[in-house]
Chains A and B, each alone.
Chain A
Amino acid sequence: MEFSKFLNSSSKLNIILIISFSISVNSFILFPNVNNAFYILFHLTLIYLIFYHYHYYLYVLAFIYGILFDLLLLNNIGAHLITFLSLLTLFIFLRRYLIRLSSYQIIFIYFITLVILLLIEQLLAILIHNYKFNFSSFFNFFLISLIIFIPTVFLFTKLDK
């Protein structure tokens, strides 16, 4: 409790971002779904930061994480970097409309954004890096997203309070 006083919710979310990034780029042979879950948690945290704690420093963050994800997972810069920066730019244009939405609508858009983000990353990986699309891995992402989405939103809301 004492420790949490020193950190605001944005800093806590940034710590989650670092931890989820670190775990998702280190494969654990016995628990491959741990990697997938933390990879999705990273995306959820990033979208949450953009939606609720937008600041222009997120461009720098998206730039760094995008490059690192691309280099560590695909060995070439592209898919993640473009997706993260596009999401930020799109958010700036759509912010005025998002503010008008109810909390349930925002939660729905939050989930849709996550799925679209994961899909676009795979599609860009095919286009730029000639990565072969694996439907089962995307389906796995979708299932994990469904499972961890509500607990994550609950956790983030708690952190924000």
Chain B
Amino acid sequence: MAPKFQIKVFQISSLVKNFIIISIVTLSFLLVFFSKSDLYLINGIKNISSSVIIPITRAISAPVNAFSNFVDEYNNFRSLKFENKILQEEIIRLKKWQTLAIQNSRENKVLKKLLNATDNNLTLVKTASLINRNDTLYTKLINLNAGYDDKIMKNMSVINERGLVGKVIDTTANNSRVILLTDPNLSISVKSISDGIFSLLTGKGDGKYLVSSFVKENKMPRLGDIVVTSGTTQIFPVDLLVGKVAKVEKNRFFVLPFVDFKNIDYVQIVTSE
């Protein structure tokens, strides 16, 4: 009786094992096939990955994070005296600019009234803080602590005090995922301030520069020119600061973004009115 029983158990376990393997392989192919769709299952998995898995991975990697923060703090402390001197000089410079800006703002208001022009104001949806970042391997992504419960939706623009940061590509109830401007898969339509040259910019891949992938009429902007969003693709609101032209070649130019992507703590999710 005993050997017969053993054989029976082996057969069942082997069947179950094969069934599990085949199910996993089939499910994997279905997931790959439908991964870009808006299916409930895919959204559920994405939801779990950002609301459950990310906090767990953060907790496990906390010692490395703490060490990284300590080194950062130490470096900051070392450069404190030098930074203080630079900041004092910058305050004096900015005070001069502030006076000029107030004058220009008043003048701008009066001129707009005269022209009966409408303002292209941004609507602030939410100010969110960064919970973790995945911008070292593959894509340049960051995760924020606000989601569709805070009225954040896909394709909304993300900015900080320096300019355009990126675009929301995924939202769950309490988290959203943002693709950074430096990602090679994100294209933004921009124009230069002085010449009004329209072009498309994408991330260069090094996490620092943006490179033009298309320039209208092949006109190159000048070195040092400021680049802002053109608003033509209707994803990004018009006139958001992007960066400065850092290098001009025969058929393309490079832009250094204003945003310091290494020091993003708080961002604002905005939409145009």
Chain A contact residues, CB within 8 Å of chain B: 18-19, 21-32, 34-36, 39, 56, 59-60, 63, 66-68, 70-78, 81-82, 85, 89, 125, 128-132, 134, 136-137
Q: A27's contact among B36, B53, B136, B170, by CB below 8 Å, is which?
A: B136
CB distance from B134 to the nearest CB of A (A): 5
Bound complex: CA A136 to CA B136 (Å):
13
CB distance from A59 to the nearest CB of B (A): 5
Q: What number of residue pairs across chains A and B have CB atoms under 8 A from each other?
A: 125
Beyond A25-B57, A27-B133, whether A56 also contacts B139 by CB under 8 A is no
CB distance from B152 to the nearest CB of A (A): 16
Cβ contacts under 8 Å, A36 to chain B: 136-137
Q: B20's contact among A26, A27, A59, A85, by CB below 8 Å, is which?
A: A59
> Is B141 interfacial (CB 8 A cutoff)?
yes
Nearest residue (CB) in A for B60 is A22
Bound complex: CA A22 to CA B17 (Å):
29
> Is B86 interfacial (CB 8 A cutoff)?
no
> Judging by beta carbons under 8 Å apart, are B65 and A29 in contact?
no
> Judging by beta carbons under 8 Å apart, are A85 and B28 in contact?
yes
Bound complex: CA A74 to CA B31 (Å):
14
Nearest residue (CB) in A for B185 is A130
> Judging by beta carbons under 8 Å apart, are B135 and A71 in contact?
no
Bound complex: CA A23 to CA B35 (Å):
25
> Is B104 interfacial (CB 8 A cutoff)?
no
Nearest residue (CB) in B for A62 is B24
CB distance from B217 to the nearest CB of A (A): 26
CB distance from A71 to the nearest CB of B (A): 4
> Is B110 interfacial (CB 8 A cutoff)?
no
Cβ contacts under 8 Å, B139 to chain A: 73-75, 131
> Judging by beta carbons under 8 Å apart, are A77 and B185 in contact?
no
Pairs A–B under 8 Å by Cβ, sample size 30: A22-B60, A23-B60, A26-B58, A26-B64, A26-B65, A26-B132, A26-B134, A27-B137, A29-B133, A30-B71, A34-B64, A34-B68, A66-B28, A68-B53, A70-B35, A71-B45, A71-B50, A72-B49, A73-B134, A73-B139, A74-B138, A77-B31, A77-B32, A77-B35, A85-B25, A130-B185, A131-B138, A131-B139, A132-B185, A136-B206
